[in-house]
Structure 1
Amino acid sequence: MKILVLMDGSKWSQKAALHAIELAKRKNAEVVLFSVLDIAEAKAMAFNFCTQSGICAQLKDYEGRIWEDMHKNIQDEQSSILARASGEKLRCSSKIVEGRAGDEIVREANAGTYSLVVMGAFGKSGKARISALLEEIGGAVRPPLLVVR
């Protein structure tokens, strides 16, 4: 059994990863932590900072720093989960790709030999409605999809 865990840097995705680890212990499964970084998100954050601060001359510099921070944050989050899984003697790996989240997730879930996809019910915004990503990928991924709340 191989479990794909979607991680976006939210507390919800971390909760989903911990749930997947518990499931993997019971089923002797392998866990793959999967994150997608979207440059459009970094550009939007840099633009918002620029317009709010009035300092737009360094927009490209802001984009670069935000992009680096996004990479570091998701790597740190995955490293934490990898350490936990290692302590549990589980097979666990991580993968970070760049692109549009919905497209990359569907591609990975359907191309791999996954028995299950696990994700948090909410994204980074933590809004009280089910994740917009779930609405996008729910019918497109072939393996069963477990949503953790």
Structure 2
Amino acid sequence: MKILVLVDGSKWSQKAALHAFSIARRRKGKVILFSVLDRKEVRAIAFHLSIRSESIDDLQRFEETVWRDTKRSIKEVITTLLEVGHREGVNCSFKIIEGAAKDRILEEANSGGYSLVVMGAYGRSGKTRIGSLLEDVVGSIDPPVMVVK
């Protein structure tokens, strides 16, 4: 059994990884922690920061700072999850790629030979309604999808 876990750094995606580890341990499966870094999302955050600081001239500096911090943050989360998985005796690895989140997730989920895709119900924003990415991708993913709350 090969399980894809979508990791965005939120507590819900981390919880999803823990569920995937539990399933993989019982089924002698492999877990792949998967994260997409989206430049458009980073640009939007940087733009809002530059407007708030009233310094649109610093947009590029803000963008590079947010990009660097985003990469560092997701690597830290994935490193922690890998340590947990290995400690629990789970065969696990990771992939971090760049691109449009929806497109890259669908591409990976549908072409990677996965038995199950696991994701958190909510994203980093912590909104109380189901995450917009979940709404965008869940109906287009071929393998079964487990949504963790």
TM-score norm. by structure 1 comes to: 0.97
| Equivalent residue number for residue 143 of structure 2 | 143
Cα displacement (A) at 1:59: 1.2
Q: Which runs of 5+ in 1 are unaligned?
A: none
Cα displacement (A) at 1:134: 1.4
TM-score norm. by structure 2 comes to: 0.97
Distance 1:67 1:115 in 2: 32
1:60-139 to 2 correspondences below 5 Å: 60-139=60-139
| Equivalent residue number for residue 14 of structure 2 | 14
Per-residue CA deviation, residues 27-78 of structure 1 (Å, 9 max, x unaligned), is: 1110000000100111111111111111222211110111011101000000
Instruction: Look up the equivalent residue of 2:121 and give its one-letter code.
Output: A
**What is the total number of aligned residue pairs between the two structures?**
149
RMSD over equivalenced CA pairs, Å? 0.8
2:40 equivalent to 1:40: yes
| Equivalent residue number for residue 56 of structure 1 | 56
Instruction: Look up the equivalent residue of 1:59 and give its one-letter code.
Output: L
Q: What secondary structure sits across from 1:45 in the alignment?
A: helix
Q: Which runs of 5+ in 2 are unaligned?
A: none
Distance 1:46 1:124 in 2: 16
2:34 equivalent to 1:23: no
